Amino acid sequence: MKTRFYPHTFAYLLPHIWRVLCKGACTVGFPFGEAKLPSGYRGVVKIKPELCRGCGLCVRDCPAFGIELEREGRDKFRLIYYPDRCAYCSQCETSCNFGAIYQVNEFVPATDRPDELRVVLVDRWPEEDSTADEDQTD
């Protein structure tokens, strides 16, 4: 197929090409340079463990099953976060009545092993009980 040359199109593009050449690329340099994320960027989920009551509201309202609560009795619980499931919607932050859970403007590291991203946000499960549970399963 023969390619046609349109002089009027080239004339239209020329100032744009010149502008791009003079100003440089508009995209970020990441991963070759630092990624500067805006302060309101909704990235990875963090927690202030001392404020968490283990009420499970964040778990109930998360649309992506990104948080799990393991609970036994009133005071013994673990809150677990799965970044690979997270939709970064901020619903958990909105649902928490105690200001415990929040998002920060950080990326989740890339990996081909999503299981390794699992984060225990709050661990109020005494060590000796965990050991006892493991002994029972042996």
Q: Per CB under 6 A, does 44 bind ligand SF4?
A: no
CA distance to 6, 57, 131, per residue, from 46 (Å): 55, 16, 27
Q: Per CB under 6 A, does 41 bind ligand SF4?
A: no
Q: Which residue has the tokens 């690979």?
A: 84
Strand partners, 70: 78
Instruction: For 70, list phi and psi in degrees, rounded to 5.
Output: -100, 125
The piece of 18-26, 29-37, 86-94, 128-136 that touches ligand SF4 (CB under 6 A) is: 86-94
**Residue closer to ligand SF4 (CB basis): 13 or 87:** 87
Q: Per CB under 6 A, does 80 bind ligand SF4?
A: no
Q: Which residues of the chain form contacts with ligand SF4 (CB under 6 A)?
A: 45, 47, 52-58, 62-64, 66-67, 79, 86-92, 95-96, 98, 100-101
